[in-house]
Every structure is written in structure tokens, then in C-alpha cells.
């Protein structure tokens, strides 16, 4: 029978079919952070259970870590310091590899796992964090799990998985100049809605997806969860195999055989999907969110929608509330809207290609003096590479703060927070009330658009700057 890529991955990892809807799924890799693992380890300790396969687990401190530029980082907040020291103690106790606070390779979990070659096509990857969908960019099935599931995975290296439905999102055509994977995914989420992929594993296909770099594909899969998707997938191709082969150095002599197997990882041509959507990349423009949900975005040349035009009363009320919070009127233009802060970071957009885009815009320009702009690389390796390429120096010369890696103001669990009322151009993935600080106002956009906002002092169309460059 024809199968989708998702079904193939479930089949190849199914330890036991539990009932009509559930399978016990084997996990090739389990990633942990300091935030969602403490209770799981405590539960294990209470039961006197060991970690089943410590070598298939890895941990990193990322959510609560300070990002100030000092080389040695000390976590001052007591509760956060305790989370980090607990993680270190638990990893030591159970023999689990840890990227601790001052490890040169520390970074955001979803950034370091792929860059260190831990993610390979065909894997099942679990992590107590919703953006584990990122790893779908490699044809690996990534699921965010809850703390009780983290405990179950530690004890058994398996997960009770409720089998999801299959959705295919096909994107043909070509992205135009100034438009990126971030704009593409914001466009898709705006169209299908923040719950549009709820209950589904989404496979992205089509020539526009094939044309994306592996890092850009990570941006797409990362944000699939913002449309409610359980997981996301992109079938591996030559680009994926190149990226993984150069990083998964431990595979050594098994690599040729692995590559052969990876090539077969795709949906059968006549596989059945429960839902399908089709997009044309040439219709994508730079996008910015106007509200407090990732599906509330518009093209930069559009006007903020009128809640009165909403389809359902719930949508209307949500739009009214969102506009009140964000401080905008229906019909307003986002272009020219003054901002206080710029945040370039997160597992969505803090890899080297993202920083290159930022540098391209910032080069020869200055951050507007009214704006505080921070660049938080996704990992120590990204930071080092950006320094080696001269990007860091360019950004510093332009007036950006060049910081240490971590989640930072993506969710404001460290000192990097918006003050009440501050408006921020952000390359992150969530814009709900208070996400970047109490009463802070977040506008999600691409790295290039955020860089353009930094130099303009207001939300602007990056293509205008690019056109000015051409003159
Ligand atoms: C803290 C963590 C549980 C959370 C997630 O699951 O995604 C965070 O990473 C986020 O982005 O909101
Ligand atoms: S960078 Fe943001 S989205 Fe990614 S794991 Fe950290 S807090 Fe979550």
C-alpha cells in the first residue's frame, strides 16, 4: 500500500501498535533543556528507574541563560541557576551529554542539534519543546513532548504516540527578491490559520521548497507548529544529504549505506493525504504580524484589517483585543510605524544564513539612534562563524549589540525583556501578549525586514532599501 513519508517513519519506529489510534514509537534521539526536564528527572528518581539509553539523549541550557557579551556567563537569577545546576547534576548522574552554560558549542537546542550532525533523515527526534518540528527539514520526525512524556522517554526511549493525519502543503513558483522562507511560512499560516494544521503532520513539497537552503527549510518546519501542526517534514534531497554528511562525522564507513537509505525517504507518488494546500511562492511578499497570533500577518504594503470584516464573532473579538494590545487602528499602515527594539535571534532565524541577511542590510548603515537592536546568534558555532566572516564586526559597527547565544528575548525568560509598551521588530515565532515582556508589543518578520526596521527606526519594506542600494 502506498504510504506518506510520515507513515513510513511511524512504521519504521513502531515498537508496538497499542490500539487503533496509538503506537509506541522508538526515539532515536531525545533532546532536553533545563526548563522542561527537572520534574522528569525527579519522577525517575522517585521510581528508582535508570535512563534506558543515555547515549541517545543530549541536553542543553538555553531558555534561561543570560546573553550579555561577557565570555564567562553566570546565571544570577536564583530559580534559573537552580534549573541549570539541576540539569548538570542529572546529566552527570545519568551519563548524558550536556552543553552547559559556558560550553563553546552551547546554543538553542533546535539550532545545535542539526549543526552538530545529530539530526539525520529518517530519525524520530523528541524534545520537551514545541519547536522540535524544526528537524523535519531533514526528513526527521520531530515532536515536542510534555514533561511526563520526557520522563517516559528517559525511562524507555519510547513515546506513546497518537497517530496524526497527513497534510501536504505544496509550494510552487519562485520567491521574489527580498522575500524569504520566513515570509513564505507567515503567508501560509495567515492563509490556513493558527489551528489550520491541528492534528496533522505536514509535509512541505514543491519546487519552491526544493529551492530553499536547508537552513531556510528549518525556518519553515520550525513555524509549522504555529499553524498547530504536530510535526513537519520535508523529504531529504541532495542538499540535505550534503549538509548531514559533512556533519554526521561519527557515521564514517556507514555513511554510503546511510545515504542510500536516506534517498528512499519520500512519500509514494500515489500516497493519500487527508488534506492538501497549494501555494505559489511568487505571490509572497515581505510580511509582518499586526496582532498577537502568528496568523495575524499582512503584506508590508497591506493595511491592518478591520475586525468588522472577520468571518466569525470569535475572530472579530480576537482581532479587536489584539489591536487594542498592540496599539493599532484598523486600516493603519505598518510602514512607518516607529519601533523601540529589534530582536534578531531564536530557533526560527538565528543561523548563519539569517545573520548574513542581516549584515547585507546593515552594511554601511547605522541603527537608528532611537532603537536598541540586539543580535543573539543561535549557537556558539554560529557566533564564531559570524565573527570569522566579519559579520559580527559589521553589525557592531552599525550599532547592533552582539550577544551570546540562547533563547533570550524570544520568550524573555532571562534579562532580555521588552519594557511595557515597547514595540519590537522580531525574527521570532510567537507574538502573544507578554511573550517578550509584560505589555511588550511584538511584530514578527524576517531577519532582513528586522534589520531594515533597525536602520529605518520604523517598520519598513526591505525592498525599498535594496532598491536604494541599486541606484
Ligand atoms: C519553554 C518551552 C516549553 C517552550 C516551547 O515548548 O516551545 C518555548 O521554547 C517556547 O518557544 O515557547
Ligand atoms: S528560541 Fe524561542 S522558540 Fe526556540 S526554543 Fe527558545 S524560546 Fe522556544
Q: Closest Cα to atom 4, ligand 1: which residue?
A: 129
Instruction: Answer yes or no: is pLDDT of 252 > 90.
Output: no
Closest listed residue to residue 279, CA positions, set 291, 287, 268, 290: 287
Q: Check residues 96 and 249 and name the one with the higher pLDDT.
A: 96
The cell 520604523 sits on which residue? 458
Residue located nearest, by CA, to atom 4 of ligand 2: 347
| Mean pLDDT to the nearest integer, 74-88 | 95
- Determine whether the shortest distance from the Cβ of 411 to ligand 1 is under 6 A: yes
> Cα(464) to centroid of ligand 1, in Å?
34
**pLDDT tens sequence across 446-464:** 999 999 999 999 999 999 9
Domain boundaries, the chain: 5-275, 287-470
Q: For residue 71, what pLDDT is reported?
A: 79
pLDDT band at 445, cuts 50/70/90? very high
Distance 253 CA to ligand 1 centre (A): 37
Cβ-contact 97, 221 below 8 angstroms: no
**Per the annotation, does 14 bind a ligand?**
no
pLDDT(409) > 90? yes
User: What value, to the nearest 5°, has the Cα angle with vertex 383 and ends 382 and 385?
Assistant: 65
Angle at 288 between CA 285 and CA 294, to 5 degrees: 115
User: How far is the centre of ligand 1, averaged over its atoms, from the C-alpha of 24 (Å)?
Assistant: 24
Residue 300 in this model has a pLDDT that exceeds 70: yes
Neighbours of 62 (CB within 10 A): 28
DSSP-assigned states of every residue in 60-74: E--SS----S-SS--
Structure confidence at residue 470 as a pLDDT band (50, 70, 90): low
- pLDDT reported for residue 435: 98
From the CA of 409, which ligand is nearest? 2
Q: Among 68-82, 115-129, 131-145, 146-160, whose mean pLDDT is lowest? A: 68-82
Inform me whether the pLDDT recorded for 52 exceeds 80: yes
Q: Per-residue pLDDT tens for 263-284?
A: 999 999 999 999 999 999 999 9
The pick from 40, 130, 133, 228 for probing ligand 1's pocket by mutation, whose C-beta has the most ligand atoms within 8 angstroms, reads 130
Ligand 1 contacts CB of residue 36 (under 6 A): yes
The secondary structure element, H or E, covering residue 90 is helix 78-94
Query: Nine-digit cell at 231?
Result: 510535526
Instruction: Give the ligand 1 atom nearest the CA of 347.
Output: 11
Range 243-248 average pLDDT: 95
List ligand 2's pocket residues with C-beta within 6 A. 63, 108, 110, 129, 131, 346-347, 407, 410-411, 429
DSSP H or E segment with residue 202: strand 200-205
* 162 pLDDT more than 90: yes
The span from the CA of 10 to the CA of 372, in Å, is 46
Instruction: Say if CB 188 and CB 224 are below 8 A apart.
Output: no
CA distances from 423 to 42, 286, 344, 419, 441 (A): 40, 19, 14, 9, 5
**Percentage of residues in the chain having pLDDT higher than 90:** 96
* pLDDT of 70: 85
- 3-state secondary structure (DSSP) of residue 344: strand
Say how many Å lie between the CA of residue 327 and the centre of ligand 2: 25
Question: Considering just the CA atoms, what is the radius of gyration of the chain in Å?
Answer: 22
Residue-level pLDDT at 1: 87
Q: Average pLDDT in the 204-212 region?
A: 98
pLDDT of residue 198: 98
**Annotated binding-site residue? 458:** no
Q: In this predicted structure, what is the pLDDT of residue 471?
A: 52
What is the tens place of the pLDDT at every residue in 311-359?
899 999 999 999 999 999 999 999 999 999 999 999 999 999 999 999 9
Task: Determine the pLDDT at residue 467.
Answer: 66
Q: Across all residues in the chain, what is the average pLDDT?
A: 97
Cell of 11: 512504521
Backbone angles phi, psi at 301, to 5 degrees: -95, 5
Residue reference for cell 500577518: 297
Contact 346, 439 (CB under 8 A): no
CA of 150 to the centre of ligand 1 (A): 14
Listed in sequence order, the residues at least 6 apart from 346 whose beta carbon sits closer than 8 Å to its beta carbon are 108, 376, 378, 407, 408, 410, 426, 427, 428, 429
How much is the pLDDT for 69?
A: 87
Q: Which CATH architecture has domain 5-275?
A: 2-Layer Sandwich (3.30)
pLDDT in tens, 29-49: 999 999 999 999 999 999 999
For residue 136, the model assigns a pLDDT of: 98
CA of 407 to the centre of ligand 2 (A): 5
Answer positive or negative: Cα dihedral of 361, 365, 370, 374.
positive
**pTM for the whole structure:** 0.97
Q: Confirm or deny that 407 is annotated as ligand binding.
A: yes
CATH number at 287-470? 3.30.499.10
The pLDDT tens digits for 110-140 are 999 999 999 999 999 999 999 999 999 999 9
Chain CA centroid to CA 394, Å: 25
What mean pLDDT is predicted for residues 10-29?
98
| 287-470 has the same fold as 5-275 | yes
Amino acid at each position: 500500500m502506498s504510504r506518506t513519508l510520515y507513515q513510513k517513519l511511524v512504521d519504521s519506529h513502531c515498537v508496538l501498535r497499542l490500539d487503533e489510534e496509538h503506537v509506541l514509537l522508538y526515539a532515536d534521539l531525545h533532546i532536553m533543556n533545563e526548563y522542561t526536564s527537572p520534574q522528569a528527572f525527579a519522577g525517575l528518581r522517585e521510581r528508582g528507574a535508570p535512563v534506558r539509553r543515555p547515549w541517545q539523549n543530549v541536553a542543553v541550557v538555553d531558555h534561561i541563560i543570560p546573553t550579555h557579551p561577557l565570555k564567562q556567563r553566570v546565571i544570577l537569577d536564583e530559580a534559573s541557576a537552580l534549573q541549570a545546576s539541576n540539569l548538570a547534576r542529572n546529566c552527570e548522574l545519568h551519563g548524558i551529554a550536556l552543553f552547559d552554560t559556558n560550553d563553546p558549542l552551547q546554543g538553542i537546542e533546535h539550532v545545535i542539534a542539526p549543526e552538530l550532525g545529530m539530526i539525520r533523515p529518517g530519525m524520530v527526534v523528541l524534545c520537551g519543546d514545541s519547536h522540535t518540528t524544526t528537524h523535519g527539514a531533514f526528513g526527521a520526525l520531530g515532536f515536542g513532548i510534555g514533561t511526563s512524556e520526557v520522563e517516559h522517554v528517559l525511562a524507555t526511549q519510547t513515546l506513546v504516540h497518537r497517530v496524526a493525519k497527513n497534510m501536504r502543503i505544496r509550494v510552487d513558483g519562485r520567491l521574489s527578491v527580498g522575500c524569504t522562507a520566513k515570509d513564505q511560512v507567515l503567508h501560509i499560516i495567515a492563509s490556513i490559520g493558527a489551528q489550520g494544521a491541528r492534528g496533522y503532520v505536514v509535509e512541505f513539497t514543491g519546487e519552491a521548497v526544493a529551492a530553499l537552503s536547508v537552513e531556510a527549510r528549518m525556518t519553515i518546519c520550525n513555524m509549522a507548529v504555529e499553524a498547530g501542526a504536530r510535526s513537519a517534514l520535508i523529504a531529504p534531497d541532495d542538499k540535505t544529504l550534503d549538509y548531514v554528511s559533512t556533519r554526521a562525522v561519527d557515521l564514517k564507513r556507514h555513511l554510503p549505506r546511510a545515504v542510500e537509505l536516506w534517498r528512499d525517504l519520500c512519500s509514494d507518488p500515489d500516497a493519500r493525504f487527508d488534506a492538501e494546500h497549494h501555494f505559489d511562492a511568487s505571490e509572497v511578499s515581505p510580511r509582518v504580524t499586526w496582532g498577537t497570533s502568528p496568523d495575524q500577518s499582512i503584506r508590508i504594503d497591506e493595511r491592518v484589517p478591520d475586525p468588522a470584516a472577520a468571518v466569525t464573532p470569535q475572530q472579530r473579538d480576537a482581532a479587536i483585543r489584539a489591536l487594542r494590545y498592540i496599539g493599532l487602528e484598523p486600516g493603519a499602515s505598518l510602514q512607518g510605524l516607529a519601533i523601540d527594539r529589534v530582536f534578531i535571534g531564536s530557533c526560527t532565524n538565528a543561523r548563519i544564513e539569517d545573520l548574513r541577511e542581516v549584515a547585507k542590510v546593515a552594511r554601511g548603515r547605522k541603527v537608528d539612534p532611537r532603537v536598541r537592536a540586539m543580535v543573539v546568534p543561535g549557537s556558539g558555532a554560529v557566533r564564531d562563524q559570524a565573527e570569522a566572516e566579519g559579520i559580527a564586526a559589521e553589525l557592531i559597527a552599525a550599532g547592533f549589540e552582539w550577544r551570546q547565544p540562547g533563547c533570550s528575548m524570544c520568550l524573555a525568560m532571562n534579562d532580555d525583556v521588552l519594557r511595557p509598551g515597547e514595540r519590537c521588530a522580531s525574527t521570532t515565532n510567537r507574538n502573544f501578549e507578554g511573550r517578550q515582556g509584560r505589555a511588550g508589543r511584538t511584530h514578527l518578520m524576517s531577519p532582513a525586514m528586522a534589520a531594515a526596521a533597525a536602520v529605518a527606526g520604523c517598520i519598513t519594506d526591505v525592498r525599498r532599501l535594496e532598491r536604494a542600494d541599486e541606484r
